Amino acid sequence: MCGICGQYDSNGVDVEILHKMAEAIRHRGPDDDGFYVNGPIGLGNRRLSIIDLSGGKQPISNEDDTIWIVFNGEIYNYPALREMLVDAGHQFKTHTDTEVIIHLYEEYGVEAVKKLRGMFTFAIWDQNKQLLFIARDPLGQKHLYYSCQNDRFVFGSEVKCVLVDQSIKPELDTWAMHHAISLRCLPDEHVMFKNISKLPAGHFLTYQNQELHVECYWDQPFEPKLEESEADIIAQLRSLLLETVECHMLSDVPLGAFLSGGIDSSLIAAMMSEISDTPIKTFSIGVKEEDFSELPYARQVAEKYNTEHYEYIVEPNVVKSLPEMMWYMEEPVDPFAFGVYSVSKLASEHVKVVLGGDGGDEMFAGYDRYLGNQIVDYYCLLPRPLRKAVVEPMIGMLADDFSYNNRVQKLRWMVAMSETSDGERYAQSASFLRFGQSHKETLYSESLWKELGHQDAAEYLLRYFNSDVAQQSIDKMLYTDVKTRLADHLLTVGDRMTMAHSLEGRSPYVDQKLVEFVGRIPTNVKLKGRRLKHALREAARGYLPDTLIDRHKQGFSFPLAYWFRNELQGLTRDIFSESRLVEEGYFQKAAMLNLLDEHVQGTVDHNYRLWLLLNMELWYRMFIDGQSIDDLNGQLELRQSVPA
């Protein structure tokens, strides 16, 4: 695991800037650094040593030093690829997976990326062709950001690498913000900054003769469907998942497992325990509020497999960590990130590599919304006059209870979604708890609404939902989630929050080989009747206690709804009252304060919206105004209504 960066400039590389770019991502690779500069090209690397600890220094070249590579990630099938390349006559200087990629490129050119099984971004410089070739793994576990202006191409594992280049002024991209506050992610090539792009998952780019070309090389297959019996499919799934976990345990340093208490991470930990000759290390976090904590279920698994188990209780002072987390995320910090940040900090004290359960819900249909469409269809069987005159007024009178799995919110969601169907329903549901068009019209300034009001961010999801890749409704939802929320939210959080602590996170559920198999599982085996994640639950049978397998999905969360009515109320009001986004003409102060007032009074649970606005304020102050982590921490400490 590493961080990479680089420049292409026909006028020559600014070596000082290149070194500063690498220094900006030291946390991604505290063990070593390395550089290659030759004419117009400069490559930089920060290394977190995982494989071939003594011989894996980057950049690495081919036999005659005409091709160079910097690499971030892990290639799980590299032993087999190396053997094949040796047989083909290639000579190796190291035992790294990095060197395998460069020899694979010699054999297959840009098509080499299709032969890799792993998580990665890499940049290859081909001196003879004067070609820069950069690729990102199929599911998007690793990231690559770049800017291409005035015949100058700059790239890095994080945006902060690119921002080191003083010619790139940090400016808010309002289109990206418009989508982020609705969709919980920054889709495809978009980031929060103007003139900076993200290489989408499953894509590669080439830069040659000052021309940039971006191409998709992988997409998830959903057809043809597997025709075996359900029992045979489950057996194949269990076998493939065990093999996937085993190859993800490839490491020359200690490793462990995140253990949330849910089925996804629990099954990974169980399979690791079966494979390992010694007890594995497991890491869990929780909160004091019992209806938000899954620690009791995590302990069941830890006790069953006699793991070396570590726990940490998160206190309601998470805002104290927000500026530092935001510096690593470079975008609004989702509440989910706090959990990953906290458990990563705990794990980093004991191991260097950790496996987790990211992607299980998106692969196997684990979210309530996959079932929710069916429930809305049942509701729509009621005569519309009855719904409008009786049922919906009654639901409208209910006050939010601010608890986990808020039932009043779910009823309101059902009512709102009953006005839509198919892809439109799915797309609108994505922004229901955040900022839909009606909320934005109130929040945005007149000029911003005029600029963006005609674009409903939710409709962006329809480009995937309505594509021909998936044919059935459940598969269409899963495919859309994989291409948006998984690649551009969940895996982004996982990468940034683990690497913040120089910890390598691995996600077996988003292994390409496994994902391709799961896509072809019939939808009635993924979602069987009203049973979410049926295929994975049955694959876990025998590994996990039945009580854990059969219980309703809970998921880890923080009680932000409570905190915004108590500990965070005063701080949030002060920040909104001095809003930089209001001063710069983006938002309206009255709308921001009204959301807070409604939440505090118990009228509507706005905790997701309040969190987004608080984050946008702090993000703007950090990355646009240039305030430091210490500056923001000082402001937050002064405004805390209750000391952390």
Distance CA 243, CA 248 (A): 9
- 4: amino acid identity, one letter: I
* Measured distance CA(343)–CA(260) in Å, rounded: 9
User: Do 332 and 615 contact (CB within 8 A), yes or no?
Assistant: yes
Of 336, 407, 463, 466, the C-alpha closest to 605 is 407
Q: How far is Cα 602 from Cα 400, in angstroms, rounded to an integer?
A: 7
Known catalytic membership, residue 2: yes
The per-type count for the chain, helices as H runs and strands as E runs, is: 31, 17
Q: What is the DSSP string of 280-316?
A: PEEEEEEESSGGG--HHHHHHHHHHTT-EEEEEEEPS
In degrees, rounded to 5, the angle at the alpha carbon of residue 634 between the alpha carbons of residues 629 and 640 is 120
**What is the pairing mode between strands 32-38 and 67-75?**
unpaired
At 408, list the tokens: 């009043």
SS3 at position 258: strand
Q: Three-state secondary structure along 351-386?
A: CCEEECCCCHHHHHCCCHHHHHHHHHHHHCCCCHHH
**Complete DSSP assignment for 83-142:** HHHHHTT---SSS-HHHHHHHHHHHHGGGGGGG--EEEEEEEEETTTTEEEEEE-SS-SS
The contacts of residue 378 (CB under 8 Å, 6+ apart) are none
DSSP summary character for residue 201? T
DSSP annotation of 333 reads P
**Distance between CA 304 and CA 193 in Å, rounded?**
47
Quote the DSSP letter at residue 186.
-
Answer whether 290's CB lies under 8 Å from 403's CB. Answer: no
Catalytic residue among 2, 5, 161, 247: 2
Per DSSP bridges, beta strands 67-75 and 60-61 are antiparallel
CA dihedral 195, 199, 200, 205 (to 10 degrees): 120
Measured CA to CA, the distance from residue 154 to residue 158 in angstroms comes to: 11
Q: What is the DSSP string of 500-543?
A: TTT-EEE-GGG-HHHHHHHHTS-HHHHSBTTBTTHHHHHHTBTT
Residues marked as catalytic: 2
